[in-house]
Amino acid sequence: MVFGFFKKKSARAVTSDDPIAAFDGVLESMERQGQELRKSAATLLTLKTQFMRDEQRYQSQLKELEGRISEAADLGDAKAETVLRRDLRATQLRLEETLKARARADEDASLLTFAVQEHMSRLEALKTEKVSAQARLSAGLVVSESLKAQVEEVDRVLKLDRARDEIERAHALADVYREDAAKKLR
């Protein structure tokens, strides 16, 4: 019997009333995107390094093949020279493909660099906005508490004024009863 312990929990939208939690959710998402961008950059760097190694290997093969072609020509071995020229052409094609791939990787690297810079600037701007929002929220809460205390103070003062008015009425009523009692005694 499975109780759902191993089920993947679905992503739920933040339903909190805390506005800072919304900032945290977006920042977390942007951090994950930044990690993916960094992974892509690392992969691209590895690929560019491999292209540079391939380029060096093909260039050294070209030099070696040119030397062997020259040697075969000097020896008058036309068959070997033909085979070596075919190998030379194949190596030149591989070198050209490698150079094209490296150029595309360089292009991709510049686009990725631009994307990373833009992403990081947006991330920093959002972090700054979050700090500002936290400060404004804290200040708003302090002001709200202060105003709440002032309202409570006004309520206490009004209650005190009502109590004074009640005491004044009670004294006035007592004075009226005293005067009335004094008139009856006379």
Tell me the percentage of the chain whose pLDDT exceeds 90.
47
The closest alpha carbon to 36, from 119, 128, 107, belongs to 119
Mean of the per-residue pLDDT values for the chain? 86
CA distance from start to end of the chain? 100
The predicted pLDDT at position 16 comes to: 58
pLDDT tens track for 111-145: 888 998 999 999 999 999 999 989 888 888 888 88
Query: pLDDT band at 7, cuts 50/70/90?
Result: low
Domains along the sequence of the chain with CATH: 19-142 (1.10.287)
pLDDT tens track for 137-178: 888 888 888 888 888 888 888 898 898 889 898 888 888 888
Kind and range of the H or E run holding 2: none
Query: pLDDT band at 73, cuts 50/70/90?
Result: very high
Task: Tell me the residue type at 137.
Answer: L
The closest alpha carbon to 44, from 108, 95, 101, belongs to 108
Q: Residue 38 pLDDT > 50, yes or no?
A: yes
Specify the pTM. 0.57
Least confident of 8-22, 40-54, 123-137, 156-170: 8-22
